[in-house]
Amino acid sequence: MNFIDNPGKLRGFEKNIKVEKVSRRSILKGLGITGGFVLAAPVMSRQAFAYETGAGKMPHGVVVDPRVFVAVAPDGTVTILAHRAEMGTGVRTSLPLIVAEEMEADWSRVKVQQAHGDEVKFGNQDTDGSRSTRHYLMPMRQIGASARTMLEQAAAKRWGVPATEVKAVNHEVVHSATSRKLGFGELAADAAKESVPSIEGLKLKDPKDFRYLGKGQVGIVDLHDITTGKARYGADVRLPGMKYAVIARPPVTGGKLVSFDPDAALKVPGVEKVMQVRGWPWPSKFQPLGGVAVIARNTGAAIKGRDALKLTWDDGANGKYDSVAYRKELEEASRKPGLVVRQEGDADAALKGADKIIVGEYYLPHLAHVSMEPPVAVADVKGDKAEIWAPVQSPGGTREDVAKTLGIPEGNVTVNVTLLGGGFGRKSKCDFALEAALLSKELGAPVKVQWTREDDVRHDFLHTVSVERIEAGLDKSGKVIAWRHRSVAPSIASTFAAGANHEAPFELGMGLVDMPFEIANISCENPEAAAFTRIGWFRSVSNIPRAFAVQSMVGEIAHATGRDQKETLLALIGSPRIVKPAVKDMWNYGEPFDSYPIDTARLRKVVELVAEKGEWGRAVAKGHGLGIAVHRSFVSYIATIVEVAVDDKGKLTVPRVDTAIDCGTYVNPERIASQIEGAAIMGLSLAKYGEISFKDGKVEQKNFDDFQVLRMDESPLVTNVYIVPPGPDTPPSGVGEPGVPPFAPALMNAIFAATGKRIRNLPLGKQLEA
């Protein structure tokens, strides 16, 4: 705990820093990332967690220290640091709320302050993987409980009574025997002198006494600012003397600038300078693509100046990337044996002996994130110091990469995290901040680099493109006895290292090798696929194609056997059980299987819950149909029922969506509902329209006219969300991403029910009109 009025003096925590060998951002082991010794804060010992998560294995681990996260001012204002990035999930509210809950702070007297990027101080800050609540519920409770204990100890000393006789209640510490009370503000100075209690001895609140957690009564902290235009996003940062820049980048990934003529651009009113930006050869993780920057007094002038540039590019080796041809390659690869990544029983033999084989080949194109706020960053580089303001999901990673790119020590880089106008994985890659840093260094002035929507669509780190081919073998009774799933898709690993042509374990573990059906003979294969553009994380990642294929296939099997979709699904899931990991070191979203097993009882439960609440089997009007799908991802379980209506011209509407989620112990059900409502809309958006395609190495789309996203007049009329009450000690699991994967297959199963048309290729586009 520290004072707002004298924070420097109370940063005693540095004393506890010890040198530890910590793995760097080694999400992709050995791929373009160097290991090394770094300074790390003490990482929590595992035993201290009431339940175990993979938090400690993240780069820089977890810091549980109230002196880092909590400050109490003499007037009683409690400031709690939010060290994760806010991109719309509500994390900037949820995590501080946990601290406030445990320390008995009155939420109306709490201020939330955004932490800058410093993982040594704050622990891991990568806001992705639907990890924040699952990794930080317990640490934040411990931080709050530590702060509360220190305040209680300070009060007990002041009154000369045993600490066991006092209790913090709603922003005060009370001694009920003598009816004495002291406000948190009055105790702040003394409490700061108390030693931080050991985690093992902390007394956490009984969940039945929670005022905020699990209640959903608290609005997000930025609500008022957002509705009044005061909320500050990356683009809203303004510094004295700041220049505005836009950059013309090579139209083909890996392309290079041959020549440029700046004359016409320089004649545009407001344009001040045209300069080259350094680019890195592809693949280079998140390093800039390079190009030509136009510097101006405002963004409008910079854009106009860029339009006037004359540019010649060398497209390089990816200049032949063509989505039509590439799709054929993927389809052909999916029809031949590939690298076996999971094998149980003998799928080949069982398929040969099957009474009936159902084959589904599913195609899902590249997707762009198109967060409403295009990438943007402000940098101010002076000598060997750099300060960045940017909407980044990975403040710590940004700090590392800025330091490396500028060749300065990491300690000289400050990364200020603004609000993110959407992220969806795009802003886990800090290329835009690196561009701003390079330009500011060269200009000797603060600079804002603004990406236009066209830049965003054309130079994204795209969701992969994939063919998922499933062959299901049925015996005479209609029971599935064999399952072969081939997944062919360029890997995210290709953005880190050339020649990474197989999917990485974390991609295989998203719905392929962890597929939970109770089938005797299973084979999963991963034929090779080369990448020709930058592939990156997109909300839900490989779960999107996997859930689409697997859950569409369930619908196909139901149809082929004349059975109900839901009954077919439950039969395939099989008995309630803990599924044994089918492969060695199977990816489980970084979590241990002990505390986060694949539990088919929970999978069945969300199916049954959504079926009950969503009135599965209800009579629907002519032209309407119901579809269901379930998927486990980010260690949560989620099932969706979609009702569609298709008119005689093939026009699709979605009257109703029902979703049940089991995300374990939860913090803010109101935000869970908003995430799931949004996931239905994003799910419908990508199923209906989502497609980025390439011709001659260039992205064919440019803006919301040709990369359409769903609008209000076509969004589901109503989305109902049901949250499974957590069992005792059920650890928290992901919410931000899991809603997306089951939507598209539920939609297509519903379309099939309504029309008899099986849609295997995304996006839907005009397929119903044919």
Tokens describing residue 364: 């899902």
Determine the Cα–Cα distance for residues 658 and 677; give it in Å rounded to an integer. Answer: 9
Q: Which position among 158, 180, 215, 297 is part of the footprint of other proteins (CB under 8 A)?
A: 297
Mask 403-442, x = binds other proteins (CB under 8 A)? ----------------xxxxxx------------------
Closer residue to other proteins in complex, CB, 32/678: 678
Nearest approach, Cβ of residue 268 and other proteins (Å): 8
Q: Does 685 bind other proteins (CB under 8 A)?
A: yes
Q: Does 231 bind other proteins (CB under 8 A)?
A: yes
Determine the Cα–Cα distance for residues 78 and 70; give it in Å rounded to an integer. Answer: 7
Mask 699-738, x = binds other proteins (CB under 8 A)? ----xxx---xxxxxxxx-xx-------------------
For 712-751, the DSSP string reads GGGS-S-EEEEEPPPPTTPPP---TTTTSTTHHHHHHHHH
Mask 558-577, x = binds other proteins (CB under 8 A)? --------------------
Q: Which position among 373, 387, 410, 525 is part of the footprint of other proteins (CB under 8 A)?
A: 373
Closer residue to other proteins in complex, CB, 60/84: 84
Comparing C-alpha atoms, which of 484, 462, 458 is closest to residue 471?
Answer: 484
Nearest approach, Cβ of residue 370 and other proteins (Å): 6
Q: Does 303 bind other proteins (CB under 8 A)?
A: yes
Nearest approach, Cβ of residue 678 and other proteins (Å): 3
Nearest approach, Cβ of residue 400 and other proteins (Å): 25
Q: Which position among 50, 169, 204, 226 is part of the footprint of other proteins (CB under 8 A)?
A: 226
Nearest approach, Cβ of residue 434 and other proteins (Å): 21
Determine the Cα–Cα distance for residues 93 and 145; give it in Å rounded to an integer. Answer: 18
Q: Which position among 222, 475, 518, 608 is part of the footprint of other proteins (CB under 8 A)?
A: 222
Residue 216 in contact with residue 175, Cβ under 8 Å?
Answer: no
Q: What's the DSSP call for residue 218?
A: -
Stretch that binds other proteins, among 19-27, 88-96, 379-387, 760-768 (CB under 8 A): 88-96
Residue 553 in contact with residue 546, Cβ under 8 Å?
Answer: no
3-class secondary structure, 131: coil
What residues contact residue 73 under an 8 Å CB cut-off, 6+ apart? 3, 4, 5, 79, 185, 188
Q: Does 304 bind other proteins (CB under 8 A)?
A: yes
Stretch that binds other proteins, among 146-154, 190-198, 459-467, 676-684 (CB under 8 A): 676-684
Q: Which position among 177, 372, 498, 621 is part of the footprint of other proteins (CB under 8 A)?
A: 372
Closer residue to other proteins in complex, CB, 366/486: 366
Residue 132 in contact with residue 89, Cβ under 8 Å?
Answer: yes
Nearest approach, Cβ of residue 565 and other proteins (Å): 25
Residue 500 in contact with residue 494, Cβ under 8 Å?
Answer: yes
Residue 158 in contact with residue 182, Cβ under 8 Å?
Answer: yes
3-class secondary structure, 463: strand
Task: Check residue 47 and give left, alpha or beta (phi > 0: left; psi -120 to 50: alpha).
Answer: alpha
Q: Which position among 288, 374, 625, 734 is part of the footprint of other proteins (CB under 8 A)?
A: 374
Mask 444-473, x = binds other proteins (CB under 8 A)? ------x-xxx-------------------
Q: How many Å separate Cα 130 from the centre of its chain?
A: 5
What residues contact residue 362 under an 8 Å CB cut-off, 6+ apart? 467, 468, 469, 470, 545, 548, 549, 552, 760, 761, 762
Nearest approach, Cβ of residue 659 and other proteins (Å): 12
Strands 521-526 and 652-662, sheet pairing: unpaired
Taking the chain, what is the end-to-end CA distance rounded to the nearest angstrom? 66
Q: Does 88 bind other proteins (CB under 8 A)?
A: yes
Closer residue to other proteins in complex, CB, 244/362: 244
φ and ψ of 427, to 5 deg: -90, 15
Q: In what side-by-side order are the strands of the sheet with 466-474?
A: 339-344, 521-526, 480-488, 466-474, 356-364
Q: Which position among 124, 125, 149, 371 is part of the footprint of other proteins (CB under 8 A)?
A: 371
Closer residue to other proteins in complex, CB, 186/373: 373
Site for other proteins in 270-289 (CB under 8 A): 270
Nearest approach, Cβ of residue 681 and other proteins (Å): 3
Closer residue to other proteins in complex, CB, 712/770: 712
Stretch that binds other proteins, among 57-65, 225-233, 249-257, 745-753 (CB under 8 A): 225-233
Residue 466 in contact with residue 489, Cβ under 8 Å?
Answer: yes
Stretch that binds other proteins, among 224-232, 281-289, 465-473, 572-580 (CB under 8 A): 224-232
Q: Does 682 bind other proteins (CB under 8 A)?
A: yes
3-class secondary structure, 152: helix
Q: Which position among 348, 670, 755, 761 is part of the footprint of other proteins (CB under 8 A)?
A: 670
Nearest approach, Cβ of residue 746 and other proteins (Å): 16
Closer residue to other proteins in complex, CB, 300/574: 300
What Å distances lie between residue 113 and 6, 72, 78, 386, CA to CA? 16, 13, 10, 21
How many amino acids of this chain bind other proteins (CB under 8 A)? 70
Environment class of residue 206 by beta-carbon count within 10 Å: exposed (0-12), middle (13-18) or buried (19+)?
exposed
Residue numbers of the site for other proteins (CB under 8 A)?
86-90, 219-220, 222-224, 226-233, 235-236, 238, 244, 268-270, 297-301, 303-304, 370-374, 419-424, 450, 452-454, 670, 674-675, 677-682, 685, 703-705, 709-716, 718-719
